[in-house]
Amino acid sequence: MSKTLQQVSPRIRETYKRAQEALQKNNTAYAVDLLLSVLELEPEIHEVRTELREVQLEAAKGKKNNASISSLKGMGKKMGVQSAIKKDPAKALPLAEELLKIDINNPSFHDVYCEAAKASNNVGAAAVTLAAILKYDRKNDKLLEKLGHLYIELGDSQRAREAFEKLGDLRPGDQTVIKWIKDTAAMDTMRVGNWEAEGDFRGKLKDENESAALEQGSRAQLIGSDLQKMIDTQRKKLEAEPENLNLYRPLADSLVKAEQFDEALEILNRADEKANHADPVIQRSISAVTVQIYQHNIKVLKSEGDLEAAKAQEVEMNAFLLEDAADKVARYPNDLGFKFDYGKLLMQTGELDKAIGQFQQAQRNPQRRIDALYLMGSCFKTKGQYDIAAAQLSKAAEELPSMDDKKISILYELGEVLEAQGKIEAAMEFYKQIYSVDIGYRDVASKIEAGYKRAKAE
């Protein structure tokens, strides 16, 4: 769900303010980095992503970009994004942003960016990006086609129709485009409905049976229109091409949105069988949907007041998570992302030595390295092995150039470790770094005050 700047933390708004100041000083590169920092913390602020695109596109207007050259420059990053899509989808979108920094107008980068946005469950980011590019490249029929389908995924039939109508102007007589326009127009009519315009809506229906069907609840109305139509279309595609593994996950995702969890799980299990149980991306999806089923059940049980049953489901879910993570580590021994996930769960259950073992291996993954070092340090701290904890946390802090939320957390943990060793002055140096950028972080203000009082007393 899209967020606004008013809904995010003061620190994020302060970063955004600094980006505006940089733009006023024509420091575009710095402004872009600051806007990206905002989006890394809150990926769903689409107004900021739109502004970022406009800044990048304006900056690119005066440049003669060669797609072939920028493709060569971005080859390594592009491979990194594609790898993240398969192994660590949450990291895919921030990595894809680096490609657009190289060349916002490179068509191959657009495709990878859209894939990354979908993998990161942020289709809105892809839609915002293509819409911004199309303001500068109005006759790009390929982008219009892609944008129309992105809007359908988002359930925005009106914008999808508008995109396809513009595409129709560029491809006159194209029967496929004409069908898309008709389909989205029908979706839009169903979404808007004209039943509220005048009189009782029953009078606008053909008969009482249609009226009864409409009155089955707002959720049924929603699913019966845009989302259900998409599900039906995806089912037909899958029935026509059952060997195409790329068709299973989109259908499962749509079924999850419709809260048709059991069928979503069935679809993914079929995909798993087709892949001979060898695709870790499908395995992740099966696990995610299973957890969503548990969470849905817990929510329903709590709403019904059956707290005992809800608690039993929570216990069962946690047991599933641990067993599933152990199974994935055994099944995919080279996937360091699975080792990291398993380590976190072991840490939560208090199995610190086993957790440390997983983190020691997971740190070889560049995307997981800092988090693995941080959590490893926390484990050693809990065990009372403060010198080893400090070493791990120091490594993690050194590898983070900017003072973001993650670095602040690591520095605070490092301060506490040094305090536990009796190294108060050294600890104070880390607390001061935090205090200078976020005075309200945890109890750092009181620690600083106490430090100054000690210094005066001495």
How many angstroms separate the CA atoms of 168 and 159, rounded?
A: 14
* Per-residue model confidence (pLDDT) at position 216: 40
Mean predicted confidence (pLDDT) in 64-87: 79
pLDDT at 378 over 90: yes
pLDDT tops 90 at residue 423:
yes
Q: What is the average pLDDT across 241-263?
A: 87
Residue type, 238: L
* Structure-block tokens of residue 347: 């840490």
pLDDT band at 1 (very low <50, low <70, confident <90, very high): low
Q: What is the pTM of this model?
A: 0.49
pLDDT score of 211: 39
Print the SS3 string covering the chain. CCCCHHHCCHHHHHHHHHHHHHHHCCCHHHHHHHHHHHHHHCCCCHHHHHHHHHHHHHHHHCCCCCHHHHHHHCHHHHHHHHHHHHHCHHHHHHHHHHHHHHCCCCHHHHHHHHHHHHHCCCHHHHHHHHHHHHHHCCCCHHHHHHHHHHHHHCCCHHHHHHHHHHHHHHCCCCHHHHHHHHHHHHHHHHHHCCCCCCCCHHHHCCCHHHHHHHCCCHHHHHHHHHHHHHHHHHHHHHHHCCCCHHHHHHHHHHHHHCCCHHHHHHHHHHHHHHCCCCCHHHHHHHHHHHHHHHHHHHHHHHHCCCHHHHHHHHHHHHHHHHHHHHHHHHHCCCCHHHHHHHHHHHHHCCCHHHHHHHHHHHCCCCCCHHHHHHHHHHHHHHCCCHHHHHHHHHHHHHCCCCCCHHHHHHHHHHHHHHHHCCCHHHHHHHHHHHHHHCCCCCCHHHHHHHHHHHHHHC
Whether the pLDDT of residue 222 is over 60: the answer is no
Q: What is the pLDDT of residues 137-149, one digit of tens each?
A: 888 999 999 999 9
Region 115-132: what's the mean pLDDT? Answer: 92
Model confidence at 201, pLDDT cuts 50, 70, 90, reads very low
340-372 b/e with 16+ CB inside 10 Å = b? Answer: bbbbbbbbeeebbebbbbbbebbbebebbbbbb
196 has pLDDT over 50 = no
pLDDT at residue 326, rounded to an integer: 93
Provide the pLDDT confidence category of residue 384 given band limits of 50, 70 and 90.
very high
> Which percentage of the chain shows pLDDT scores above 90?
37
Phi, psi at 195, each rounded to 5°: -70, -25
pLDDT at 44 over 80: yes
Residue 215: pLDDT band (50, 70, 90) is very low
Q: In CATH terms, are 216-310 and 334-457 the same topology?
A: yes
Q: What is the structure's pLDDT at 183?
A: 82
Domain spanning 216-310: CATH superfamily: Tetratricopeptide repeat domain (1.25.40.10)
Q: What per-residue confidence (pLDDT) applies to 225? A: 60
Lowest mean pLDDT among 13-17, 119-123, 187-191: 187-191
Region for 137 from its dihedrals, namely left if φ exceeds 0, alpha if ψ lies in -120 to 50, beta otherwise = beta
Among 118, 162, 133, which residue's Cα sits nearest to residue 60? 133
Q: Token pair of 134, please?
A: 């199309």
Domain ranges of the chain: 216-310, 334-457
Say what the pLDDT of residue 414 is: 95
Interval 404-431 mean pLDDT:
93
Using a pLDDT cut of 70, give the percent of the chain over it.
90
The pLDDT of residue 20 is above 60: yes
Whether the pLDDT of residue 374 is over 90: the answer is yes
Q: Is the pLDDT of residue 213 over 80?
A: no
**Mean predicted confidence (pLDDT) in 389-410:** 92
Task: Kindly state the greatest CA–CA separation across the chain.
Answer: 88
Q: Categorize the per-residue pLDDT at 188 as very low, low, confident or very high, splitting at 50, 70 and 90.
A: low
Quote the pLDDT of residue 412.
95
Is residue 214's pLDDT more than 60?
no
The CATH number, out of the four listed (2.130.10.10, 1.20.950.20, 1.25.40.10, 2.60.120.10), of the domain defined by the range 334-457: 1.25.40.10
Residues 406-418, mean pLDDT to the nearest whole number: 94
